[in-house]
Structure 1
Amino acid sequence: MPVRVAIAHDYLTQRGGAERLVLSICRAFPDAEVHTLFYEPEQTYPEYRDRTVRPSVLNRIGVFRRDPRLAMPLLAPVASRMRIDADVVIASSSGWAHAFRTRGTKIVFCHSPARWLYLPEDYLGETGRFDPKRLLLAALAPALKRWDRRAALQAQRYVGNSTVVRERIRRIYGIEAPTLFPPFSPDVAEGTQEPIDQLQGWAGTDGSVGGHYLVVSRLQPYKHVDRVIEAFRDLPGQRLLVIGRGPEGERLRGIAPTNVRLVEGLSDAQMRWAYAHSRALIAASHEDFGLTPLEAGAHGVPTLALRAGGYLDTVADGISGAFFETTSATSIREAVMADADTTWDPDRIRGHAQRFSEERFIATLRDLVEEVLSS
């Protein structure tokens, strides 16, 4: 009798690296159903419409689908009541899916133990002492930490997505987790390219940008997109394209100078165009895993990255990119100025990215499932 595999994910309500990672897991196990707290087809990748996606009862409430953070007081009890009938569940988790229950074996692919519990300042940014989100999190945190650690210990196997996350899993849960690096998505690397209509006239009458610097990021406080924008305020001869959406979007548009553009909701063809026509990607956040440098690298484009976190796993200094030391606008600006005098080898950059190909990821994940079942 064939082994039944199911996939779990926190929620499918946005287009980000974790949601692309789940698509790679889907390609590894084409018959697997996807279980999640929330599913909003219009807000995530269209490929999920070809899958069987089973959301929680909370998915009936539209405001929660649009912004799952509003449901936070309800998520732990609802996640604990999710039941998945499968021989193996692969849970892609940053805080909730690792608690979904199953009668079979559970493998947790951990993007990070919940940031809002263990790295709250990254999650809250510069909100004031009496901000409602800060007060709510302070009230819920003690009970949520107890719940979270119990949920973590239900899994038969934990896997971290980077060196940083592996150490965090050890420190928070006391679990020794091997590292399995996520792949870059072939949807970003391969296929036709489509120019971005919003950029028409920004750089020439035909709207072609070529040579812009690029940020691809959720617009959250800890991503430091505002520091990159400030760096380009004093670089009027350079252009910066920011792709992403999030709660910081309105504020960032308000501070952006004329040589900076922010866009969101792009198709894969437009993303491929944005990467392929860029001079370099700029990655200034403290990431658990640095996925966007691999997406840029698949196009032969280098990355200027903060020397920290997951970028230490995915950026090869002098081969696929260069590092800057702090998240200050000055440090970022100096890196851009130094890059102007640097010549990169696109073939070497692509060769480095191929170490993180989806084919390798799928083969390793299938071997892991066989190993767990046999043991």
Structure 2
Amino acid sequence: MNLVDAKIALVHDWFLKNSIGGAEKVTLFIDKLLNKNYSQPDLFALASNIEESKKNIFQNRIIKKSIIESFPFGKTKVQNYLPLLPFAIEQIDVSQYDLVISSSHAFAKGIITSPDQLHISYIHTPMRYAWDQMNTYLEQSKLSNYGLKFPIKYALYKLRQWDFLSSQRVDYLISNSNFTAKRIRKYWGLTSEVIHPPVDIERFNFKNIREDFYLSVNRLVPNKRIDLLINSFNKLNLPLIVIGDGPERSKLEKMANSNIKFLKQVSNMEVENYMSRCRAFVYAGLEDFGIAPIEAMASGAPVIGYGKGGILDTVICFNESNKKDFSNGILFKKQTISDMVDTIDWFEDKKVWKEFDPQDLNNYSERFSPEIFKTKFDFFINKVWQEFKIKS
């Protein structure tokens, strides 16, 4: 059977209208690629509430859901059923498909397939809250304050066991960065093909005049470390605009001084406008990849970020001793207020933003264009399809 004749299932963890981020955008791009080059895949998820909203990225397509959808608040708060999600994803029936592609940051890779089916999983991250960032999540969790830290830790212990076991069922893994590939080797003992996510760089304008404010565009969740940004800019007393929403919003707003402005309901066009005018894009979290910094570069903005994780695939740190070397940002070594404050103080004092040419930053961002992703992803799935057919 040729790949163009294969029946395809595309599985993602969940689609929530208040949480459409990088992983969902990648899933949409994979869907479009499969539609154009092969056949329209059927869509699956643990839960979804985007179908009747303005954020329905799949328009009028049917998304087949799990049993979680029938539970109270299952459509909107699927994460509340965390201990049941491994069971739920395994109940989704994809037995009639030749090719199953999962786009997974948590559970989608756990879909069960037979030896006669090829399962390729694009991994955005092994579950952060179950592995290396468990303590960060627990420190920020309200449940920890109610004496539930031990049962939560035990639930995560069991989740790690399932996460490892389910990873062994996947035929081929794609990771979104070298950092994610390293974590996959560490926690699952498996190798993966690194294919960076596609970034829609064409929609950004790098020609606007830079202004004096700093910008963050993020989900307001613990691992993004927006709390570190807030505390740092409280000390710096420099203008910071935070675009995004999430469970941390109320707490962060209470922490912030008057120099920090939060924006919630912001259109894509407005985000593009802010990115094209900011002095620099600031990023304090430990990310597996990070699409927003690429979008900032496409907008001509340098990135100031924590120098660990997936950002090392994209940000080349400015070297004052050799200004002729290409750079597109500044990296601070420690995820602390003092390190971030010192870095931005130096950036301000030396007027380092003047060292970055917006057009050069935009040119660099083209390395992560949809066209490059399409070429690499298409080549990979064709290669492994042929390998799989020969083996079977």
Normalising by the residue count of structure 2, what TM-score does the alignment of the two structures yield? 0.85
Does the 8 Å CA contact 2:240/2:261 hold for their aligned counterparts?
yes
2:123 equivalent in structure 1? 110
Structure 2 CA distance for aligned equivalents of residues 129 and 358 of structure 1: 41
Mean Cα displacement is larger for which, 273-282 or 39-48?
39-48
Offset, 1:105 = 0.8
Q: 1:47 to 1:251 in 2, by over 3 A?
A: same
Deviations 1:117-160 (A, max 9, x none): 21211332344856466344323234323322221111110111
Contact kept in structure 2, 1:290 and 1:313, CA below 8 Å: no
> Closer, same or farther in 2 for the Cα pair 1:233/1:144, shift >3 Å?
closer
Partner of 2:154: 139
2:367 paired residue number: 355
Match of 2:32 in 1: 27
Distance in 2 (CA, whole Å) between partners of 1:88 and 1:125 is 40
* Number of corresponding residues: 358
The answer to which of 239-248 and 115-124 deviates more is 115-124
Residue 125 (structure 1) aligns with? 139
Decide which of 85, 105, 120 is 1:75's aligned counterpart: 85
Take 1:263 and 1:348, find their aligned partners in 2: how far apart are those partners?
29
Structure 1 residues 254 and 90, CA gap change in structure 2 (3 angstroms): same
Q: Percent identity?
A: 25
Seen in structure 2, the aligned counterparts of structure 1 residues 361 and 75 have a Cα distance that, compared at 3 Å, is: same
1:55 is aligned to: 65
**1:1-375 to 2 correspondence within 5 Å?**
2-13=5-16, 14-30=19-35, 31-41=40-50, 45-61=55-71, 63-84=73-94, 85-103=96-114, 104-119=117-132, 120-127=134-141, 131=146, 134-186=149-201, 189-190=202-203, 210-236=211-237, 238-318=238-318, 319-340=327-348, 341-342=351-352, 343=354, 344-375=356-387
Unaligned 5+ segments in structure 2 are 319-326, 388-392
CA distance in 1, matches of 2:364, 2:49: 35
Contact 2:204 2:276 in 1 (8 A): no
CA distance in 2, matches of 1:209, 1:246: 28
TM-score when normalising by structure 1: 0.88
How far does residue 65 in structure 1 lie from its aligned partner after superposition? 2.3
Q: How far apart, in 2, do the equivalents of 1:165 and 1:97 lie?
A: 16
Distance 1:49 1:136 in 2: 40
* Structure 1 portions without partners, runs of 5+: 193-207
Give the Cα separation in 2 of the matches to 1:150 and 1:9: 19
The answer to whether the 8 Å contact 1:282/1:305 transfers is yes
SS at the partner of 2:119? strand
Structure-2 change in CA distance of 1:57 and 1:129 (3 Å)? closer
Residue number in structure 2 paired with 1:196: none
Matched with 1:195 is none
SS of equivalent to 2:241:
strand
Q: 1:39 to 1:129 in 2, by over 3 A?
A: closer
The CA RMSD measured in Å over matched residues stands at 2.4
Q: How far has the Cα of 1:50 moved from its partner?
A: 4.1
Whole-Å Cα distance in 2 between the matches of residues 132 and 111 of structure 1?
Answer: 32
| AA partner of residue 329 (structure 1) | I
Question: Per the alignment, do residues 141 and 356 of structure 1 end up closer, same or farther by CA in structure 2, a change over 3 Å counting?
Answer: same
C-alpha separation between the residues in 1 aligned to 2:381 and 2:265? Answer: 34
On the 8 A contact 1:36/1:97 being kept in 2, the answer is yes
Report the Cα offset of residue 62 of structure 1: 5.4
* Displacement of 1:191: 7.1
How far off is 1:44 after superposition?
Answer: 8.4
Larger mean Cα displacement after TM superposition, 62-71 or 126-135: 126-135
Judged with a 3 Å threshold, the aligned counterparts in structure 2 of structure 1 residues 161 and 225 are, in CA distance, closer, same or farther, namely same
In 1, Cα distance between the equivalents of 2:136 and 2:97?
35
- Partners of 1:191 and 1:269 within 8 A in 2: no
Inter-CA distance 140–12: structure 2 relative to 1 (3 Å threshold): same
CA drift of 1:315 comes to 0.7
After TM superposition, which residue ranges in structure 1, 4 or more long, deviate above 6 angstroms?
none
